[in-house]
Chain A
Amino acid sequence: MNASGKPSTIAGTRADCGSDAALAARLAARDPAALREAITLYAASLQRIAFRMTGDAHEAEDLVQEAMLRLWDQAPKIAARHPVESQAAAALRLGGWLNRVVTNLAIDRLRRGRRMSAGEVPDREDEAPLADALIEAGERDHSARALIAALPERQRAAIVLTYYEDMSNAAAAEALEMNIKAFESLLLRARTTLRRAYADFGEGGAQ
C-alpha cells in the first residue's frame, strides 16, 4: 500500500473517469452507501487476487475486508487530493489503488505466515493429515493452486496480476510499486519458475 495514501493512477477496469473521485468524496463524507457501492465495484476482483495469492478463501476475504476498510480510512485524504471536477479527479483510479493495497497485504500475510512457528504453543492438537486427506492433498498438489504456491510471493503476484487479472505490465508494475524493467525481469523469472514447477509435477512439456 502506498504509505502516503496516494491513490494509484493506473487504469481501472470498471470505474469511469471522474466517477471514482465522486465516490471518494462520498466516502470522505462517511456515506455508508458509498462504501457499499465500492464493495460492489471492486470486492470481486480483489477477492480473486487475494485468493490466488493466498490459496485460502477465508484469508482472502479478510484481506479484501482490510483493503476496503483502508479505503474508508484514507478516503478523506484521497478526496482532498482529487477534488471532484478537477484534472486530478480524472486521473483517480480507486481500482488500481485497491489492487495495490490487497496485493501488498497478501504478500505481507504470506511472509508473516512463513515466519510464524507453532512450535512454542504447548499441547497442540495433532494436525497430521489422515489418509484420505493425504490422497486429496496429493491430487491438489498437481493443481494450479500448487503451481502458484510454488512461486515466491512477488513472483506469485506478478503471475496473478498479469495472467489472471490480465493487467498490462505497467499496471502490474505500479501495483507492485516497481519500475517496468524490474517488473519485466520479475515476470520472466516467475514464468521460468512456473514452468519448472509444472515440469517437476510430471506433466512435462511446459508451454
Chain B
Amino acid sequence: MSTNDIIAGSPLARRLDDYPVPDLSAGFADRVLAAAAARAAPLPDLRRPGGGEGRGWRLGRRLAIATFGFSAIASAAAATGMLDRIDIAVPSAERVWTSITGKQPVAAAPVLAAAQSADAAPKAPVVFDGQIDTPEELNEAFRRIEDVRQGRIKARRERQDERIEQAIERRRAAGLPVPSAEELARQRQRIDEVQAIRQQRADERIKARRDELERKVESGEVLTREDIVRPLRDDQRAMDRRERMVRLRQMTPQQRREALRNLPPQQRRALIEEYRNLGNAPDTDGAVAIPDNATPETAPVEESPPPQP
C-alpha cells in the first residue's frame, strides 16, 4: 500500500463508501433476453482477419499495383517531356545500356540523320537536327548527302531504262519503226555523256560549296541546316528556267519556236544558253532541236535537280 492510497476508515474513505448502488430493476434479465432475440445478427467483418496466409498475397498485390502505377506515371512523364521541364534528367536507353554493359555505343552522327539508304526511295529528305561545328561533322554530313545523291542517280537511271523500253514497246505496238540496236546504243551513250557532264558540274558545285563550308567551320563558325540547304534552294530563277525547259520539251517544235519568240530577249538567250550547256544545240531560228523519239526522261533537263545538301 502506497502513501497515496485511500486508507480505510479515513474521512475520505467513509465519504466514498457512502455511495450505495441500486439494484437492477425487476425483469432486467427478461428484457435483455427479449432484446437479444430481436437483435439482428451482427454484420460480418469488413476485413478478413489479418495474419492469415492471404495477407502476404494481398500485400504483394498492392505492392505490384503500386509499382506498376508508379512506372506508368513515370513513363508517361518522361515520354511527354514533363521531367525535362522540371530539370530531371532522363537517361536515354543507349546510356542505360552502356552503364549496364560497359560498352561504348558506336558514335553516331551528331547533327544529321539520313532518312534513307542508297537503295531507299530517292526523294527522302536529309534531316538536320542540330548544328555542325566540327570538320568531322561536316564530313559526315556530306557523306550522307553523297549517299542520297548516288541513290537518286541510280534510281533515275533505272527509271530512264524502263521508260525507254516502254517507249520502244509503244512504237512497236503502234507499227512505228523502232530504233535499231546501234541507234539505241548511241542514244544511251549520249545520255550517259550528258549525265556525266551534269554530274561533273554538280560535283564541282558541291566541292566548291564544301570548301567554303569547311573554311567556315575551321574558322569556328557554327553551321546550321539552312547554311547548307538555302543557297541552292534560293536559286529560284534557275528553278524557273528548269521548269520552263520542261514545258518547252513537252511542246511540238512549232509550239516551242512560238513560245521562245514570245519570251523577252534576255530570258530567251538565257534559256538557250542553259540548254546549250546541257549538251543540246538550238535551232538556227532560236528553237531547241530535240529528237522526236527522245523521251523527256532521257534529257538531262528533266532530271531532278542536283542533290541539295
* A residues lining the B interface (CB < 8 Å): 32, 35-36, 39-40, 43-44, 47-48, 51-52, 57, 61, 64-65, 68-69, 72-74, 143-145, 147-148, 163-164, 188, 191-192, 194-195, 198, 203, 205-207
Contact = CB atoms under 8 A, between A and B. Distances in A.
B16 interface: yes
Interface of B: 4-7, 10-13, 15-19, 21-25, 28-29, 31-33, 35-37, 39, 42
B3 to A, nearest CB: 10
14 contacts: A36-B33, A39-B28, A40-B29, A44-B23, A47-B24, A61-B24, A61-B28, A64-B28, A65-B31, A143-B18, A163-B6, A164-B19, A203-B15, A207-B13
Contacts of A47: 21, 23-24
B22 A51 contact: yes
Contacts of A32: 33, 36-37
A145 B16 CA distance: 8
A124 B15 CA distance: 36
A68 B32 contact: yes
A7 to B, nearest CB: 16
A36 B28 CA distance: 10
Interface of A is mostly: helix
A192 B19 CA distance: 20
A35 B33 contact: yes
Given A61-B25, A191-B6, A39 B32 contact: yes
A68 B36 CA distance: 9
A69 B35 contact: yes
Residue picked from B28, B32, B35, B37, most chain A C-beta under 10 Å: B32
B33 A52 contact: no
A203 B11 contact: yes
A198 B39 contact: no
A123 to B, nearest CB: 31
A64 to B, nearest CB: 7
List the 9 shortest-distance A-B pairs measured between CB atoms, nearest first. A207-B10, A144-B19, A39-B29, A73-B42, A72-B36, A57-B22, A48-B21, A144-B16, A51-B21
Contact of B17 (A43, A144, A205, A207): A144
Contacts of B39: 69, 72-73
Contacts of B37: 32
A148 B33 CA distance: 32
B12 A195 contact: yes
Contacts of A39: 28-29, 32
A92 B23 CA distance: 27
A148 B19 contact: yes
Contacts of A144: 15-19
